[in-house]
Amino acid sequence: MAKQQVNISISREHRKQFPQVVRALKKAGVEVDQQLKTIGVVSGTINDENLADLQNIEGVANVEQARSFQIAPPESDVQ
């Protein structure tokens, strides 16, 4: 079972209920890493099979899979 790193945006209308939305995300299987209440974002990880369920949580505006990248070391031929 693979895990995905996600960033979840909380709708402006639900920012006052931020703690309740975070609880709902945890109940849905999100392992919360960060809660950025002032901008309405929660980041964490979730199993692939539960990813689609996050859109159905009241207060969730957007779910985005986190992207990562890595650059080659300075001594590498690829730059």
Model pLDDT, residue 13: 96
Model pLDDT, residue 79: 58
Residue 62: left if φ>0, alpha if ψ -120 to 50, beta else—which one?
A: beta
For the chain, which residues score pLDDT lower than 70?
79
Per residue in 12-21, pLDDT tens? 999 999 999 9
Adjacency order of strands within the sheet including 41-47: 31-36, 41-47, 3-10, 60-65
Determine contact, residues 18/40, Cβ cutoff 8 Å.
yes
Residue type, 65: Q
Q: Which CATH superfamily is domain 3-65 in?
A: Peptidase S8 propeptide/proteinase inhibitor I9 (3.30.70.80)
Model pLDDT, residue 27: 97
Global pTM? 0.82
Q: How far is Cα of residue 64 from the mean position of the Cα atoms in its chain?
A: 6
